[in-house]
Chain A
Amino acid sequence: MAERRFTKDHEWIELNGAIATVGITNYAQEQLGDVVFVDLPPAGKKITKGGEAAVVESVKAASEVYSPVTGEVVESNADLAKNPALANTAAEAGGWFVKIKVADPKELSALMDAAAYKKFVDGLH
């Protein structure tokens, strides 16, 4: 299993070969509350690091999911689109958002590892 990396905007990313899986973290889903809708990008869409990758809407608010890396969407999670509750129940597993063909794998090394992200989240509240 490849190592997971995390962003300050509470996305996680995991690289397997040239394809990275991206989702929102457990902390993010807790803060959002019950997710009721996700707007996922079509395959083939080019996205840039820090740009909007998807939109997640909960009972409290609608928020952007930012792409941790630059690349091209190869797949969106059809299960999540049908059942947005997956973002709550399995945020860091089956509730992933998109798979991205990563332009530059080195972009991941600038992101936080699990320990650093935990420390970051603990500092928030």
Chain B
Amino acid sequence: MKTDTFSGNRGLDLEEPLLFELGRPGVTGVDMPDAPKVASKLGGLEREGSIGLAGVSEPEVIRHFVRMSRNNYSIDANLYPLGSCTMKHNPRLNEKMARLPGFGDVHPLQPESTVQGALELIHVLGHWLKTITGMPAVAMPPAAGAHGELCGMMAIRAAHDAKGDKHRTRVLIPESAHGTNPATAAQCGFSVDPIPGNSHGRVDLAAVKAKLGPDVAGIMLTNPNTLGLFENEVIEVANAIHSVGGYFYADGANFNAIVGKAKPGDMGVDAIHINLHKTFSTPHGGGGPGSGPVCFSQALAPYAPLPMIVERQGRFHLIEHRGSAGEPGEKSFGRMRTFNGQMGMFVRALSYMMSHGADGLRQVAEDAVLSANYIMASCKDDMTSPFPGPCMHEALFDDRFLEGTGVTTLDFAKAMIDEGYHPMTVYFPLVVHGAMLTEPTETESKESVDRFIHVLKSLAKKAKSGDAQFFKDAPRYAPRRRVDETAAARNPVLRWTPPAPKAQAAE
């Protein structure tokens, strides 16, 4: 970006080149004597060029990443309204617990006798998850939400296979679903049959019933759904799918809206993943790995993956292999990753649960829903919503309020960047035109949500005042102006190439 300073910096906004542009040959963080000249024993297989690492010193590396981090938007900096992502505050107590040496310094291959505390923690977390979901079994290994979906669908496949039901190939998925749902079903070898929504933004029960048949393996449904609405016929949907021998997979991405209030087990769910990194406040979005344990109904419990933890006479054991008849893991579909889940995230999630308690978790859902409804109600005169409220934990707007202004949802989102906010999720769900999916979460104060509402309303008014160019020019104050997304997607530059390509001789 052009600036009027000699350096290109603007005060604390530092212009930073790529690490590779910074690097020069011969510079490293450590000083090593030259390697002695020896006869090569590699028989002509020696490296011919440089290995392509940037030559930079330790202070240069530190400065580079610190400067880059100044351009990072995070929940620690401001409200992060990205719908479907539940960007809530990560309490620092969680971090303190996760850094306790007994949890932070253990290795997954340590003997069981030396990690009883860590195993007990996983077991207790599993107990909380089973209690909160009202379901009898839990699998801790899945690495994140989509991995949890895969785990659930593999269990459904295993359950059908165990009954010899090889002909069940079809999975019903609402058109408003997260894209990972059809992707997971396809990954498991199922074909996807989309279910339309009804005029109230809920899954069309009659359409579900019309699609039932002996080849249906199950249904994947999110409750509340991606429109931020509670599926009030969820039990009827569960009964319908069970009536033809199918299973009910619930996408737990939106669990924050119902935690402590409603149990998926009571809704007839057979498998649900719980995003610990959303509902239970473990860092995500660049801040840490996800974690997606899956809770199972009695029908699917026998097929849960390995490893699993069992308690015997006060001692905790990891079941690593399928046991013989009658033993734990006998019918397990097997192992889906190396070890038993994300230990650091387990500690954070359990810290969050225990510090909130049952009543606190219930209040999480209540306040999250209240925040979203407060935004929806406050903006109703300036913005438009595709479905009448009340909503659950997400306020969904469409682009009807921008009709005739020349301003698009994308332009509106870019203007929010200038106002210092990460935009909400845009153009999702796909079934809503110009969608803006807004999730404030319960951890924002009323003052913070009020500031955000004022920004939304002022931008909506500005759009209607006829100043479309203001929006087309946004963002003005970001380190870079509007990116040409079309050119970037049509002609992606995926690798940095040196300005004057010449192979450096190996040293």
A residues apposed to B, CB below 8 Å: 34, 36-37, 57, 59-61, 84-85, 125
**Per DSSP, are chain B's interface residues mostly helix, strand or loop, or mixed?**
helix
- B486 close to A59 (CB less than 8 A): yes
Query: Which residues of B421-435 are within 8 A (CB) of A?
Result: 427, 430, 433
- B490 close to A84 (CB less than 8 A): yes
**Which of chain B's residues have a CB closer than 8 A to the CB of A57?**
489
Q: Is B485 an interface residue (CB 8 A)?
A: yes
From the candidates B427, B486, B489, B490, name the one contacting A61 in the complex (CB within 8 A).
Answer: B427
- B486 close to A34 (CB less than 8 A): yes
- The CB with the most chain B CB atoms within 10 A, among A34, A57, A85, is that of A34
**Per DSSP, are chain A's interface residues mostly helix, strand or loop, or mixed?**
loop
- B430 close to A59 (CB less than 8 A): no
**Which of chain B's residues have a CB closer than 8 A to the CB of A36?**
486, 489-490
Name the distance in Å between B179's Cβ and chain A's nearest Cβ.
8
Query: Which residues of B485-500 are within 8 A (CB) of A?
Result: 485-486, 489-490
Closest B-chain residue to A63, C-beta based?
A: B430
From the candidates A34, A61, A84, name the one contacting B430 in the complex (CB within 8 A).
Answer: A61
- The CB with the most chain A CB atoms within 10 A, among B427, B433, B485, B486, is that of B486
> How far is B433's CA from A36's CA once the two chains are assembled, in angstroms?
20
> How far is B427's CA from A36's CA once the two chains are assembled, in angstroms?
16
> How far is B431's CA from A100's CA once the two chains are assembled, in angstroms?
29
**Which of chain A's residues have a CB closer than 8 A to the CB of B430?**
61
Closest B-chain residue to A34, C-beta based?
A: B486
Query: Which residues of B408-424 are within 8 A (CB) of A?
Result: none
**Which of chain A's residues have a CB closer than 8 A to the CB of B489?**
34, 36-37, 57, 59
Closest A-chain residue to B486, C-beta based?
A: A34
Closest B-chain residue to A85, C-beta based?
A: B490
**Which of chain A's residues have a CB closer than 8 A to the CB of B486?**
34, 36, 59
Closest A-chain residue to B403, C-beta based?
A: A125
> How far is B486's CA from A34's CA once the two chains are assembled, in angstroms?
6
Q: What 6 additional pairs, Cβ within 8 angstroms, besides A37-B490, A61-B430, A85-B490? A: A34-B485, A34-B489, A57-B489, A59-B486, A59-B489, A125-B433
Mark B433-452 against chain A: 1 for CB-CB distance below 8 A, else 0.
10000000000000000000
Mark B186-210 against chain A: 1 for CB-CB distance below 8 A, else 0.
0000000000000000000000000
> How far is B487's CA from A84's CA once the two chains are assembled, in angstroms?
11
> How far is B433's CA from A10's CA once the two chains are assembled, in angstroms?
16
> How far is B430's CA from A36's CA once the two chains are assembled, in angstroms?
18
Name the distance in Å between B12's Cβ and chain A's nearest Cβ.
32
Name the distance in Å between A45's Cβ and chain B's nearest Cβ.
16
**Which of chain B's residues have a CB closer than 8 A to the CB of A59?**
485-486, 489
Can you list 12 A-B pairs, Cβ within 8 angstroms, ordered by A?
A34-B485, A34-B489, A36-B486, A36-B490, A37-B489, A57-B489, A59-B485, A59-B486, A59-B489, A61-B430, A84-B490, A125-B433
Query: Which residues of B282-334 are within 8 A (CB) of A?
Result: none
- A60 close to B427 (CB less than 8 A): yes
Name the distance in Å between B408's Cβ and chain A's nearest Cβ.
9
> How far is B491's CA from A36's CA once the two chains are assembled, in angstroms?
9
Closest B-chain residue to A88, C-beta based?
A: B486
